[in-house]
Structure 1
């Protein structure tokens, strides 16, 4: 219990520090949304309920059950460094995506899940992701794949 409280405080401090260093260029709203929906550097919950807790905590089950989401378990500086990788084509055809190898947890809604009782199955892995980046310097604004 004490470890969970410590980790929760550490997450809160991390998110607050990210607020302080957010870029004032590019698309700050989209950057903040990316952080909220996809970044969990210390994987604050280590159990089968990880996705259920995180999807609710990050407000992705407020109006409906989001079908799929990926949480990246890297610090924001490692994630931002992906924006320096060569560009690749995004799913929408734009050329502002970049790829990098990271630790992730994919959260997939279970077939029996119904709003407001959204339920998710976690799948942890290390894989290559693609993120869209905008701004100068570029910051992540969209999780592409």
Structure 2
């Protein structure tokens, strides 16, 4: 049953990836998925961030200094959007929080484009996500 559920989730994510966005919000949602969602990994391996940052195209024109991958299924991530609103770092009130399994990736000192190298830290922690129309669109912290 878990294998079927994982396959269905993969197909949903692939479908969302391939569908042309019809609005700016859809593009933000798709970008959130590409940059932050990796449900099929625990992320603890020391090479994880180097591989994923490259694979998810966050090292093509510069080294993105910090990124977080969430290791939960999409439905758990989206359910955060149903929690009470809290203030985002930019002052807007469309953020929500929850506890998730994540991997934080931080650019190592002395690392520079095009040879981006990252430190990997996998853990469970509180995350803050901005949502629009019940869809996650921005990882706020």
What interval of TM-score do these two structures reach, taking the shorter chain for normalisation?
Answer: 0.7 to 0.9
Match of 2:69 among 52, 68, 71: 71
Give the direction of change, closer, same or farther, for the CA distance of 1:143–1:25 in structure 2 (3 Å limit): same
Alignment of 1:1-145 (within 5 A): 13=11, 15-19=13-17, 27-43=25-41, 47-135=45-133, 138-145=134-141
Question: What's the TM-score, normalizing by structure 2?
Answer: 0.85
Once the two structures are TM-superposed, the CA of residue 18 in structure 1 deviates from its matched residue by 3.9
Once the two structures are TM-superposed, the CA of residue 43 in structure 1 deviates from its matched residue by 1.4
Residue 112 of structure 1 aligns to a residue in which SS?
coil
- Tell me how far apart the structure 1 counterparts of residues 21 and 112 of structure 2 sit (CA, whole Å): 37
Residue 88 of structure 1 aligns to a residue in which SS?
coil
Once the two structures are TM-superposed, the CA of residue 112 in structure 1 deviates from its matched residue by 1.7
Give the direction of change, closer, same or farther, for the CA distance of 1:123–1:35 in structure 2 (3 Å limit): same
Identify the range of structure 1 (39-48 vs 15-24) with the bigger mean alpha-carbon deviation. Answer: 15-24
Asked whether the equivalents of residues 11 and 42 of structure 1 are also in contact (C-alpha less than 8 Å), the reply is no
Gaps in structure 1 of 5+ consecutive residues: 1-8
Give the direction of change, closer, same or farther, for the CA distance of 1:87–1:25 in structure 2 (3 Å limit): farther
Once the two structures are TM-superposed, the CA of residue 70 in structure 1 deviates from its matched residue by 0.2
Asked whether the equivalents of residues 74 and 103 of structure 1 are also in contact (C-alpha less than 8 Å), the reply is yes
Question: What's the TM-score, normalizing by structure 1?
Answer: 0.83
Gaps in structure 2 of 5+ consecutive residues: 1-6
Once the two structures are TM-superposed, the CA of residue 23 in structure 1 deviates from its matched residue by 9.0
